[in-house]
Chains A and B, each alone.
Chain A
Amino acid sequence: MIQKKFQLRAMLYQKIRTFFSERNVLEVETPLLCQHTVTDPHIESFIVPINGDAINRVSTNYYLQTSPEYAMKRLLAAGSGSIYQITKSFRVGESGHQHNPEFTMLEWYRVGFDHHDLMDEIDLFLQILLQTSPADKISYRNLFLKYLQFDPFQIDCESLKKLISKNNIAVDTNDIDHDTCLQILLSHLIEPTLGVEKPLFIYDFPVTQAALAKIRHDDPPVAERFELYMNGSEIANGFHELTDPVEQQMRFEKNQRDRKNNQQTVPAIDHYFINALKSGLPHCAGVAIGIDRLLMQYTKTKNIQDVVSFTFDKA
């Protein structure tokens, strides 16, 4: 049993490496301990005190990386070409049936791709590695129109809150914003049915959920971001990557303001990353896939503990 668990993981890694070597995507490694971390208000980083030498005794804090995104984009800006990485990532407090604070991520970047090109490649990747049927795609807007009969880009926050209570979702809606309302409706009412027969991509998110995605100025404007669902679980998140250093800096500063308002710690902005954007990030698309989640799909389990050696509470 324990052998089977790791044989499957080893086999998956082998297939991943074959997939990328056939496409000339280079495997890279980036630091797990970094001086900077994400400013996203919904992600908390583990802090690691770095002891100074015995004489100076100066200690500074480093962070266990929550995603290899910034470091990999620095490589892209330095001319690496298309790259991928299988790496551990760390997020404080993310424990549950589908979460472990330490988890394995497959992240890859394709120079010259947009988010649709990358979704097509992921679809192929899943067909080859997990023998899935060809994936479906639906825009974020059409998803809500199809399942809940409203346009998420038009509806106001009050109507969303009414919908939440009308659907008997017992949650205190007093201090939640528009995006959180949409996420509550999505996770309670839509998600469980997503990607059941074949994988499903949701793409073109509200700009308020852009994260590090490029914004396309349609009417209304959309963030060129996508998520992948299989059997009701979110498996991957990707972007047509934002390359503009000025806008990136502004998004980070907004994160910092939000964190300050929430009375969270406010990490400094990663100037190595911003400088890399200034030096020129090539047009590219990138995606992060949860490897543990992928293995959970492969072995048809609902519990992450079935695919990792030791969960956080037993590590």
Chain B
Amino acid sequence: MSKFSTNEFKGGLKVMIDHDPYSILENEYVKPGKGQAFNRVKLRNLKTGRVLERTFKSGDVLDGADVVDCDMQYLYCDGEFWHFMNPTTFEQISASATAVGDTKQWLKEQDTYIMTLWNGVPLTIEAPNTVTLKIVETDPGVRGDTATGGTKPATLETGAIVRVPLFLEEGDVIKVDTRKGEYLSRANKA
């Protein structure tokens, strides 16, 4: 297992603390003119998403976390697990509801997502910042209401519900910002 000294700390480095994998968010080197140097570090727990602050003496060493990001194609959900495939090796990996989390509402079969693996087990699945999806259910728009910039809920093919402008109809294809869950624009029909 690789080890990292405080002088190698930087944003994005994956390390182990108390048996959990963490990603370094910020690293601040603190050094009194005379005296012990420290690193004040902000880290995100990759299992829980919680952010914590730790202070290390400069020179302290942490184990690296065997965490890798890979592009995975979403195949299907069997009701309990979400199944993905590595498009180059064709290796299949199934992810639990915890790992899939809120991303499940954006998962469309055949599309590619970023899977973070820790010791070969999926920690998180991340959707691209924007996805293109079809509206499968929405009330018909009411003419004349567009001036107020009104919106209405629309259910997308993956099950996600977003607010869309009134003129959109079932069967329309739209671009959505997955970070905010917001409608961005109309897309050409897929």
Contact = CB atoms under 8 A, between A and B. Distances in A.
- A, B co-complexed: yes
Interface of A: 40, 42, 93-99, 169-172, 176, 179-180, 183-184, 186-188, 209, 211, 227, 234, 237, 288
A209 B54 contact: no
Contacts of B32: 183, 186-187, 234
A283 to B, nearest CB: 22
B55 A94 contact: no
Contact of B54 (A42, A170, A183): A170
Contacts, number: 64
Contacts of B57: 171-172, 176, 180
A180 B35 contact: yes
A171 to B, nearest CB: 4
B77 interface: no
Given A184-B55, A288-B33, 12 more contacts: A96-B29, A98-B29, A170-B54, A172-B60, A176-B36, A176-B57, A179-B36, A180-B36, A187-B38, A188-B40, A234-B33, A237-B34
Contacts of B47: none
Interface of B: 7, 27-38, 40, 52-58, 60
19 contacts: A42-B34, A42-B35, A93-B58, A94-B29, A96-B31, A97-B28, A98-B29, A99-B29, A169-B55, A170-B55, A171-B54, A172-B57, A172-B60, A176-B57, A183-B36, A186-B32, A187-B38, A227-B33, A237-B34
Contacts of A234: 32-33
Given A94-B29, A96-B28, A99-B29, A211 B34 contact: yes
Q: Which of B32, B52, B56, B58 has the most CB of A within 10 A?
A: B32
Identify the 4 closest CB pairs spanning chains A and B, nearest first.
A96-B29, A171-B55, A237-B33, A170-B54
A97 B35 contact: no
A314 to B, nearest CB: 15
Contacts of A97: 28-29
Contacts of A186: 32
Contacts of A169: 55
A288 B33 CA distance: 10
A66 to B, nearest CB: 11
A273 B62 CA distance: 40
Nearest to A236: B33
Q: Which of A171, A176, A209, A237 has the most CB of B within 10 A?
A: A171
A184 B32 CA distance: 10
Contacts of B40: 188
Nearest to A97: B28
Q: Which of A184, A186, A209, A211 has the most CB of B within 10 A?
A: A184
Given A169-B55, A170-B53, A184-B55, A99 B33 contact: no
Contact of A179 (B35, B38, B54, B56): B35
Given A95-B29, A97-B28, A209 B34 contact: yes
B34 A94 contact: no
Nearest to A262: B59
A293 to B, nearest CB: 10
B28 to A, nearest CB: 6
A93 B30 CA distance: 12
A99 B99 CA distance: 39
B57 to A, nearest CB: 7
A169 B32 CA distance: 17
A211 B38 CA distance: 19
A311 to B, nearest CB: 13
A119 to B, nearest CB: 15
Contacts of A183: 32, 35-36
B38 A184 contact: yes
A244 B148 CA distance: 83
A234 B31 CA distance: 9
A171 B31 contact: no
